[in-house]
Amino acid sequence: MTENFNQEIPESSAQGPMPDEPVWTYRGYRIKTSEFVTAMVHFFRAEVQRANVWRQRLDATTNWAVISTGATLSIAYSQTTVHHTVILLNILLVSIFLYIEGRRYRYYELWSYRVRLMETDFFAAMLVPPFHPSPDWAEGLAEALLNPSFPISIWEAIGRRLRRNYIWIFLICGLAWFAKYWLFPAPPVNWEEVISRASIGNISGSIVILFNLIYFILLIVLAIITAPLQHSSGEVLPRFNVGYSNGYAPSFNKSGKAHPWYSFRKKRQQFIAFIITDQAEDVSQHILSELNRGVTAVEGKGMYTSKEHSVLMCAVTTTEINNLKKIVSKADSRAFIIITPAQEILGRGFTSLEEE
């Protein structure tokens, strides 16, 4: 048995405009909604400026590493008498630059975290009404202002910068170091000569080669084990862990033929939500009035308990998932929600059936 809860939502405009109540009061001052939004806009611009300053410092550190590597290789290969140790010293210098950049990246994340909070929970909520900010976003932003702390660890920062830029610099330095003592002053005739050329003073060449291999392996391990860490907000990552698509999807015309590759566009991901509840009418009315989405109900029965439940089906978009959870939780805290991606949704509120 299926019941469709799609119906017209009553207009509330007849009640007249709501009074502009103050959203913040202090010592007799009463800040209204418009003034609050203006203050948030200025605050957002200030945080963006701070993040840009630290982003420029990141670029400066990378430039130091690139310039020092280029100068070192020029000196090392300009004369055959230059010892290969100069390249090893440059690797040490680049490692210091990597640590400095990782530390700067943590400061950059401190400011970009606040920017990301305002983007996802303040401005995004304004763009897709009647959605509301996440309940904890204001507390999270206030906590970041009152008790600032780094949102990511030093290892995640170093690992991320290593994967982004420094792994290539280390690779060039490693190959240049090996080529330096292999080719100059002439190619070796046997493996013993290769090992002897890698020596540094009283340190044998085998120890030097082994130490460098261990160091580069540790760098690779660091890059790999920190890859799953996703606490960084400055890398254009979503605030919520569901509802975001990283890929680009082609658009299709009526004949089902994809448009050329140059017309590919990023497609907003769409979902189907299945809500198992005993309060179908209440949950449906809340979704209709607060989310403005149609709901279809299907009667179901438990496999073992034989108890009848209502299964509500609702099509939602990325920005509506978090609000749907709050709406359902408010109407029925014992409800069971399943959210699954949809290949394509056509109809009112989504892609038009007439669109090519």
Q: How many separate domains does the chain show?
A: 2
Residue 64: CB atoms within 10 A of its CB come to 16
In a domain, 64, yes or no: yes
In a domain, 274, yes or no: yes
> Are 41 and 174 contained in the same domain?
yes
In a domain, 253, yes or no: no
- Dist. CA 17–CA 74, nearest whole Å: 72
> Are 124 and 193 contained in the same domain?
yes
> Are 108 and 202 contained in the same domain?
yes
Closest CA to 94 of 182, 16, 161: 161
Q: DSSP character for 348? A: T
> Are 62 and 210 contained in the same domain?
yes
**Strand 270-277's sheet: what is its strand order?**
2-4, 296-301, 308-317, 270-277, 336-342
Which domain does 284 fall in, by range?
261-342
Among 205, 225, 245, residue at a domain's last position? 225
- Dist. CA 156–CA 235, nearest whole Å: 12
Among 206, 225, 244, residue at a domain's last position? 225
> Are 295 and 150 contained in the same domain?
no
> Are 110 and 182 contained in the same domain?
yes
In a domain, 5, yes or no: no
In a domain, 104, yes or no: yes
> Are 104 and 30 contained in the same domain?
yes
> Are 46 and 193 contained in the same domain?
yes
In a domain, 307, yes or no: yes
Over the stretch 302-343, which tens digit does the pLDDT of each residue have?
766 667 788 999 998 877 888 888 889 888 888 899 999 888
In a domain, 73, yes or no: yes
> Are 209 and 271 contained in the same domain?
no
> Are 199 and 330 contained in the same domain?
no
Q: Contact 24/36 with Cβ under 8 angstroms? A: yes
Strand partners, 338: 274
In a domain, 241, yes or no: no
Please give the pLDDT value at position 246: 38
> Are 217 and 266 contained in the same domain?
no
CATH of the domain at 289: 3.30.70.120
Please give the pLDDT value at position 243: 38
> Are 205 and 313 contained in the same domain?
no
Please give the pLDDT value at position 202: 87
H or E element in which residue 25 lies: strand 24-26
Among 170, 201, 225, residue at a domain's last position? 225
Residues of the chain with pLDDT under 50: 7-17, 240-252, 259-266, 356
